Every structure is written in C-alpha cells, then in structure tokens.
Amino acid sequence: DAGVIQSPRHEVTEMGQEVTLRCKLISGHNSLFWYRQTMMRGLELLIYFNNNVPIDDSGMPEDRFSAKMPNASFSTLKIQPSEPRDSAVYFCASSFTPPTATLNTEAFFGQGTRLTVV
Amino acid sequence: AQSVTQLGSHVSVSEGALVLLRCNYSSSVPPYLFWYVQYPNQGLQLLLKYTTGATLVKGINGFEAEFKKSETSFHLTKPSAHMSDAAEYFCAVRGMNSGYSTLTFGKGTMLLVSP
C-alpha cells in the first residue's frame, strides 16, 4: 500500500480564494483525522471521522472550514474564503478502528499539504 | 478527556549521549500511548506504542519508552544519540471522550544533536 496520500503537497493562494485539500486513506482503514500544524499552536485536531461519519468537529476553527468524506477512502478539507492566518501544514491521518472500539491502533500520517495564503 | 504534556520544547544532546524526552498524560480510561517522530518536511511516523502488557516498549531506531501508571508518564529514551535522530518528537494518547475515541498529541519536543 502507498500509505496515506495527500494532495497537493504545496499550495499558495490569495486571500479570499477557495482552497481544497485532498486525502486518500489507506485501504481498509475506517478512521480519518485532519490536523493542522503551526509553530504557534503545534498539532491541532480539526476533525475526526469514523466510518465516514464526522464524530468530532470541535477543532474546526470556524464556518469557513468544511470537511467531507464522499466515500470510504477519500476526504476533502475545504477553506472558503481563505485567510493569511490559515497558512499552516495540514495533515490527514488514517487508522483502523475495529467494531469493538479498541484503541490500540495507531494512526498513519500523510506527508502533509503546506498551505500559504498571501 | 485526555491530554498530553511534553516537558521541554527543545532538548539538546551530544552525539553518543543519552536521549530522554519526557511525556506525561492524563486520561480517564486506561490509555494507549504513542511516540511519533517528524523529520523536516515529512509527516509523522510511528516510533513505538504502548497498549497493554509489558510496560517497557521497544521501538524503531533504538528508542524505547516505559509506561509508568503511578507517575502517568511515558518517557522516551535512547542510550546513545545519533546525528540522524535530530527531529521533532510527539507523544500522543488515544482514549475515549464522550463515547468516541480521540488521538491527542503533545506540543512536540525538538531534539537537537551536536557532534
């Protein structure tokens, strides 16, 4: 398996533009995390899906951010409109959470998307 | 809810010296604990994990960590640092919050290795 695949790796956009980040999960995984990493705040959880259902979106900064899982293997994170303070590295990570909800499975991370909003 | 505290945003060691990166956690349920490493411009990579059983866990690249429930700690160690160990290290806890599992990370510790 190629691992978690994120695209694009780098994105530079102007303030006010819409940005869409993409993530392909590892085959067979059913949990998906979106994180944002900045120098000031470190690694922040934005949203967590389990079996395509958003479980916890309390980390999503505001209504400008939205995330979807149109199918079991793919997710998008959209920012509309983008602002300079959204500049960060965005990671998605996937894991397998069995029906028994045991928690001993690790998350596998993609390489990240470095977003710069000018 | 669970949380993770990593003591020291930066740790500097000489090559060949002992590496000790500290992690304390809080969790309302028995925790599952992880250490990840991040090299520049890369994603996070799993170093090791504690689930149940043996409290001393061995990982990749010669790292190990010991789960101490009484101290709520999961410190990461390596007997002898290599230059290639220079990276950022994250401790994480997976637990339950309001009926669903979450994965919570500490703020990270940058390990600097000097010749």
Q: In this predicted model, what pLDDT tens digit does every residue of B9-58 receive, in sequence order?
A: 999 999 999 999 999 998 777 788 999 999 988 899 999 999 878 889 99
- B96 pLDDT above the threshold of 70: no
Nearest CB to A42 within list B49, B95, B107: B107
- B97 pLDDT above the threshold of 70: no
- A100 pLDDT above the threshold of 80: no
- A106 pLDDT above the threshold of 90: no
When pLDDT is cut at 50, 70 and 90, the band that residue B67 belongs to is very high
- B79 pLDDT above the threshold of 80: yes
Q: What pLDDT score was predicted for residue A37?
A: 94
Query: DSSP string spanning A58-69?
Result: TT--STTEEEEE
Best A5, A32, A37, A43 member to test B by mutation, with max B CBs in 10 Å, is A43
Report chain B residues whose CB lies below 8 A from the CB of A29. Answer: none
A43 to chain B, closest Cα gap in Å:
7
Each residue's pLDDT tens digit, A19-67: 999 999 999 999 999 999 998 888 999 999 988 999 889 889 889 999 9
Measured CA to CA, the distance from residue A40 to residue A55 in angstroms comes to 26
Q: Is B84 on the interface with A (CB under 8 A)?
A: no
Chain B residues 2-41 with CB within 8 Å of chain A: 32, 34, 36
Q: What pLDDT score was predicted for residue A101?
A: 59
Contact B12, B26 (CB under 8 A): no
A14 to chain B, closest Cα gap in Å:
23
B97 to chain A, closest Cα gap in Å:
10
Query: Among residues B72, B63, B66, which one has the least CA distance to residue B31?
Result: B72
Q: What pLDDT score was predicted for residue B19?
A: 97
Q: What pLDDT score was predicted for residue B100?
A: 65
